[in-house]
Amino acid sequence: MHISTLLGAVLAAGSILWQVNAQVTTECDPTKVTCPNDQGLATDSYSIDFTTTKSLPAEWQLADYTSVGLGDQGAEFTFAKRYDAPTMWTKFKFFFGRVEFVVKAAPGVGIVSSMVLLSDDLDEIDWEFLGGVTTNVQTNYFGKGYTGSYNRSTSPAVQSPQTQFHTYALDWSTAALTWSIDGVVVRTLNAADADGNGDQYPQSPMKVSLGLWDAGDPDAATQGWGGGVTPIPPPEPYTMYVKSVKIFNQNPAQQYQYTDKSGSWKSIKVINDVAFSSSSSIPATQASTLSLGSSSASSSSQASQSSEATSSLSSNSTASTAAIRLSNLQQSWEFCRYSGSIE
């Protein structure tokens, strides 16, 4: 896409921008400036069963202006009206290992369901589903925010992803990255084969992000990639369900420190000798409790929620559209990246 056309799309799209940016931005890029240490996962494993969870776990963060439901099928990411883009991510990061997602993707033309691993320096590993594509899922990766020529995506087959739960896994090491569906490997990326002679291989501590957004908005430049124009208002709510997430952390740590600006995995220091604070790590004792996948209600409000079939997590739901649009324009660079992917 030519830049003049793209800038016009950015100005026209307004609230589309923040939908994309919720998952793929960074507050501090350690390849450019000195950043605080990353909060780490101090255990070698973590899991959560969203079908038994009645309130937002402390180790997950909701994106501003979004809400996520909780019900019998797990965490519910729903597009019910224009600009809905429910997103949440782990407050901690992990450093190589395995992640498993049990997911049923959202239907709907233009609707994108995604599970993303993302680092502070914009290393990224993706699973993405297009709501109008019922036979495939997309895999992708990026290194340090570079997109290459948008030729890294693959589309392995999967049976009825919008009506059936499947287990989507990522096995991530210094040597290779594999994507698998229900235990069958569908893609392998060797580190040495990544773009930039391996430099763009994802290799820094990652958070786990779950989200849904509308690539088919009437004003979006991503309609071609997203499969067409999403009806506004949608004829019915489009929902992605996440039943569970499991993480196996190869390098447990209270903190991860970038010791230089290279972004290389060899420069990451694993720190386990600091006093715990809520802003520095998920401690072993807390993580072990959370991994049980149960959330006991400790207040009368939570007890009341437990009796309902579905509860809801929300963040800043009363924010004005004007404020959202301002935030969108300030982060337009990432929209540019996604727009390019439809070329």
Residues with a catalytic annotation lie at: 124, 128
Instruction: Report the C-alpha gap between 208 and 200 in whole angstroms.
Output: 19
The per-residue DSSP string of 239-255 comes to: EEEEEEEEEEESS--SE
307, two tokens: 């009796």
- One-letter amino acid at 125 equals I
Residues, the chain:
343
| Structure tokens, 257 | 């420190």
Rg (CA), the chain: 19
By C-alpha distance, which of 95, 36, 57 is closest to 210? 57
Distance CA 153, CA 147 (A): 11
**200: exposed, middle or buried (Cβ count in 10 Å: 0-12, 13-18, 19+):** buried
Per the CB < 8 A criterion, the answer to whether 101 and 172 are in contact is: no
Strands 311-315 and 87-90: unpaired
Token pair listed for 156: 């392995």
